[in-house]
Amino acid sequence: MQKKDIVMSGIRPTGFLHLGNYFGALRNFVRMQEEYECYFMLADVHSLTTHPDTKELAGHVKRVLAEYIACGLDPEKVALYCQSHVPETTELYLYLNMLAYKGELEKTTTFKEKARSQPDNVNAGLLTYPVLQAADILLHRASLVPVGKDQEQHLEMSRNFANRFNHRYGDLFPEPKAFNFGSGLVKVPSLDGAGKMSKSENQSATIYLSDSDDAIRKKLMKAKTDSGPTAPNTVKPDYIENIFQLMRLVSDEATLVSFEKAYDECRIRYGDMKKQLGEDMVKFIAPIREKAESIRNDEGYLRSVMEKGAAKAGASAAATMEKVRAAIGLKYY
């Protein structure tokens, strides 16, 4: 039998999951579980780089795990685990740190953003964040990494670290690639037209998988629009394109086409469009929210999923680390 390609990805448990996480990452995870050997992780160690206060961590970890499953991930088919439960991650992270240069780490966009937003806590973990991410991926010798557009640079760095390791110590790691079914990587914009949906910033312009029906409708009604185009077939401004993009994600084709046509013919009514989008969004999110809530309340089940995931991921990690230590020359007999 041909060996399956290996898939790895993760999400930081720093808050509630949102549409960006779903369409950038989770939707791909769910489809990939049928065809590949998959490792999906909760990046709890990464979250310490920005959220040193861990009061809410356990709650977020359990909630995100429940949301993973509610979105369709099957713990029997994939390894669902917490990063901190696979300590080999930190060993590989340490070795990869010797192959990562200060200059390239300082130039990383996410590092520069975080250094700006938390000037009192520019810790070394923040600087070496992409090295830890590379360790997560290379630990399973994964070649496909389903992520949203914002992770592109981190993936490029993972490839660089893998290549440097291979070059120095012999071929061991495949080159990991960012993956999305369909065309390019996805970026789900925020509803105010400024930036992307996010777990902790911009909450009124982000739709969460845990939002109530009412909250979803209200947030969408407040999304930024204008008085509409004045000439046929006008190029859409970004914030209007965003609303169409959300409609493309959750509405049916006929609905989308009818609003596209109304826009091109300058007779669009954004109030109606947002109302329709609200209903389609509620239909999409409500079943996920309800399922996640019921899974979240089953602590025994969540614990068994976590333990099983850690055992599966741990076995894969242990096998890789044997090879890593031997390749580096840390085996003396």
- If one asks whether residue 9 binds ligand TYM (CB under 6 A), the answer comes out as yes
Q: 85 and 308 in contact (C-beta within 8 Å)?
A: no
Q: Which is nearer to ligand TYM, 20 or 229 (CB)?
A: 20
Please say which residue, 155 or 305, places its beta carbon nearer to ligand TYM: 155
- Sort strands 79-82 and 144-146 into parallel, antiparallel or unpaired: unpaired
Please choose, out of 140-148, 214-222, 224-232, 323-331, the segment that lies near ligand TYM by the rule CB under 6 A. Answer: 140-148
Per CB under 6 A, which region of 5-13, 30-38, 217-225, 258-266 contacts ligand TYM? Answer: 5-13
Pairing of strands 37-42, 79-82: parallel
Among 145, 207, 249, 281, binds ligand TYM (CB under 6 A): 145
Q: Which stretch binds ligand TYM (CB under 6 A): 50-58, 94-102, 130-138, 215-223?
A: 130-138
CB atoms within 10 A of CB 310: 19
18 is written with which tokens? 């949102």
Instruction: With beta carbons less than 8 A apart as the criterion, state whether 83 and 42 touch.
Output: yes
What does the DSSP 8-state code read for residue 208? B
The secondary element (H helix, E strand) that includes residue 192 is: none
Length of the chain equals 333
Query: Active-site residues: which are they?
Result: 114, 196, 199
C-alpha angle 93-139-46 in degrees, rounded to nearest 5: 50
Q: Which of 5, 56, 91, 150 binds ligand TYM (CB under 6 A)?
A: 150
Residues 178-217 that bind ligand TYM (CB under 6 A): 186-188, 196-197
Nearest to 290 by CA among 199, 198, 211: 211
133 touches ligand TYM by CB under 6 A: yes
Q: How many amino acids of this chain bind ligand TYM (CB under 6 A)?
A: 26
Sole window of 144-152, 229-237, 292-300, 301-309 interacting with ligand TYM (rule: CB under 6 A)? 144-152
Nearest to 289 by CA among 84, 9, 22: 22
Cβ atoms of 162 and 176 within 8 Å: the answer is yes
Measured from the CB of residue 14, what is the shortest distance to ligand TYM in angstroms?
7
> 166 or 202, CB closer to ligand TYM?
202
43-82: contacts with ligand TYM (CB under 6 A): 43, 46
CB of 228 to ligand TYM, least distance (A): 26
CA 129 to chain centre: 15
C-alpha–C-alpha distance, residues 257 and 259, integer Å: 5
Q: Work out which of 15, 16, 24, 209 binds ligand TYM, going by CB under 6 A.
A: 24
CA separation for the pair 87, 206 (Å, rounded): 34
Contact residues for ligand TYM, defined by CB under 6 A: 8-12, 20-21, 23-25, 43, 46, 133, 136-137, 145, 147-148, 150-151, 154, 186-188, 196-197
